[in-house]
Amino acid sequence: MEIRNCLPEETPGEREILELAMDAGTVLLENDAEIFRVEETMARICRHYGVESPELFVLTNGVFATGGGTTRVKHVPVRSTRLDKVAAVNQLSRDIEKGRYTIHQARQRLEEIREMPGKPAWLKILACALAAGCFCCMMGGNWLDCLAAGCVGVLLQALILWVCAPHLSRMIGNILCGGWVTFWCLVICALLPGRNLSPMIIGTILPLVPGIAFTNGIRDLADGDYISGAVRLLDAMLVFVCVAIGVGVVFILYHKVFGGAML
């Protein structure tokens, strides 16, 4: 990464400083960073550029900042989990403290971070397949069960990428994913008798579990950010419930049609 030296004659205004801090906090929140990390990063930027004792209040979906007679409020919808962006913004704030960026250079770098490309679709599909197969193994499945779970993981990620993410709400998408996974696991067990259904379903469901959001929710509660922690935990619980609904609906339909469920 290029090292830049801060120009001594540059004296940014307080509004511009708060805008930069808000933008940095927005990128962090959009990518599911912890609340304390967002506040720490924003405070570090404000202090370096001359806004003394900024008042910062961060929630899961919003940032409030006051400093030097200027107040800024911004709504931030949580979009995805991109830990590479979180790490990049965190590093940017530390480089700012070391005087390596002017405020305009920092804004340019922040835009570069915001535009960082995501992982290609094939890599996401491969990762989901490997995760499903490994989780199936952890749940007691044999190698054929793991192979089958990996195939269902491919179908699951394809559904997420091309149907759920661009066209459906999160709740409906999670219900559909839970049902989709269960349907294909039942089909495989019907075509290949002797497969262990439970490890296959559990293994392919676990990639849907929002582990980072759930962990961050607990961490926020431990840090005293009760509102944000409760919201994140509720959001994670809704995912669990929606996936369970999808699985349950397919099992009920299977029971109605065939008179029983394979376990």
Compute the radius of gyration of the chain from its Cα atoms.
23
Torsion of CA 128, 129, 133, 139, to 10 degrees: 30
pLDDT for the residue numbered 175: 96
Whole-number pLDDT of residue 6: 45
Please state the domain extents for the chain.
Answer: 14-114, 121-258
pLDDT of residue 204: 95
Is 196 in contact with 141 (CB distance < 8 Å)?
yes
- Give the whole-angstrom CA distance, residue 55 versus residue 35: 14
Please report the pLDDT score of residue 9 as a whole number: 41
Q: How far apart are CA 100 and CA 112, in angstroms?
A: 16
* Exposure string over 66-79, b if 16+ CB within 10 A, otherwise e: bbbebeeeeebebe
Long-range contacts from 181-185, C-beta under 8 angstroms, 24+ separation: 181/152, 181/156, 181/205, 181/208, 181/246, 181/247, 182/246, 182/247, 182/250, 182/251, 183/250, 184/151, 184/152, 184/155, 185/148, 185/149, 185/152
- What local confidence, expressed as pLDDT, does residue 5 receive? 45
Mean pLDDT split into 10-residue runs, the chain, 263 residues = 43 80 91 88 89 83 81 79 90 91 92 91 95 94 93 95 89 95 93 87 93 87 87 91 95 84 50
Write down the pLDDT at residue 250: 94
Q: What is the pLDDT at residue 79?
A: 66
At 224 the pLDDT is 85
